[in-house]
Amino acid sequence: MIRRLRFINYQNLTILYFVCGILWILSTDFLVSSSVKAVSNETPFAIHSFKGLLFISVSSLFFYSVSKKATTVQRKLSEVMQLGLMGTFEIEVNNGRVLLSEEAATIYNIAHRVTTIDQILSRLNAAEAAEVRKTLSSKLEHGTIYNFIHELHLSPGLTKHVNASFRIKRVKGNSFVVKGILQDITRLKELENKLNKSYIEKNRLDIILENIRTMVVITDSERKISWVNRAFENKLGYSPDEVIGLWPADILYGEKTSANMLTKIEEAVKQKKHFTVEYDIYKKNGDTMYVKIKGSPLKNDEGELQGYIILADDITESKEKETQIRNQNLFLKEITYLTSHEIRRPVASIMALVPLLESAENPAESKECLDMLLTSAKDLDTIVRKVNQKIGKFECH
């Protein structure tokens, strides 16, 4: 049983073949030229040497190309072999005697290569052991190949997954022998479980990305769009087929898009960093949308940038409310200024003229105070009208 494949270095053999061929041509030319006194000018040794060299070169290139393919096949075969130890076994069904190869004994963690069926089955759970007994006690068909994947419980902390592939062979009369191959597929099972787990997690992530309201864009290493979610399609009006393979700038940017924010993104991408920006983007119908964008770099194990995942939230409504609140604050400041300065002036005049009117000693003083009161009242009325007009305009806006 092969435990480990040893790679043959075909490239080195090719070089050795090439060097030996050249040495052979040179040595044979020297021997012939030294033994033959006269040589025809029509067939000089140089021509023979060139033909030989050409043949060696071409054959070396052919041998090298074939050897590369052979090396690749060997490597793949070795990778498969290293995933699980393989061994052979033979069961004499009538007497329950089991003969294991060295590798099979290692798989079952049995010290001796000769054992019994009961000892093998003791390492299986009750259901699998019963299935094996049922198979061996049933009508066995000669030449039929059976496959049986089972778990070995060797110790509280050690469990193996084993695949048994065997064939039934009739020896004499009703005597049967089971011959087969065992493979420790524990590592394969672990890889399968990891793949299943990754597949489940990927499906769960796909479901989340497809159903969240946030627009999601994934770009490749060239910063071209490679994937968008359903929210992107619904909010911007572009189907995936329309945008995949394009740069975001080709479809989303326009006159209202902030150049400063785009420069900030460029600097972050060059440094392979995260970024958060807010700016206007354009829908397919030409309308604008104010978005908050968060970009995160996607890197491989070597730290090389593979692209970006970009999350974009529509904050147009919140931005409009923010602008509205800002305008309200400016309006309130203006009203506060009018009430604290403009209105206070005529009110202060009225409050000062009333005592003077009460203490007037003759009709002329009283009339003068009344005229001043009337002027202050008109000023107050003008200011109040101005305030009301501002409030009316603000409410209409």
Tell me, what's the pLDDT at 245?
92
Tell me, what's the pLDDT at 14?
63
CA distance linking residue 350 with residue 380, whole number of Å: 10
Alpha helices, DSSP H only, in the chain?
A: 10-35, 45-82, 102-108, 117-121, 126-137, 186-211, 230-236, 240-243, 259-270, 316-337, 344-358, 363-396
CA distance linking residue 54 with residue 49, whole number of Å: 9
Tell me if domain 86-190 and domain 213-319 are identical in fold: yes
CA distance linking residue 153 with residue 124, whole number of Å: 6
Length of the chain in residues, anyone? Answer: 397
pTM of the prediction?
0.42
Q: What is the number of other CB atoms lying within 10 angstroms of the CB of residue 281?
A: 21
**H/E run at residue 145:** strand 145-155
Sign, CA torsion 391/393/396/397: negative
**What is the radius of gyration, based on Cα positions, of the chain?**
46
Domain ranges of the chain: 86-190, 213-319, 330-395
Q: Rounded to 10 degrees, what is the CA torsion of 343, 348, 350, 352?
A: 180
Mean of pLDDT over the chain: 77
Tell me which fold the domain 213-319 belongs to. Beta-Lactamase (3.30.450)
Tell me, what's the pLDDT at 4?
36
Chunked into runs of 10 residues, the chain (397 residues) has average pLDDT values of 41 66 64 50 53 64 70 63 71 83 84 84 83 73 73 78 80 73 82 73 67 85 89 90 91 89 90 91 92 90 86 86 81 76 76 76 80 82 78 69
Please state the CATH superfamily assignment of the domain spanning residues 86-190 in this structure: PAS domain (3.30.450.20)
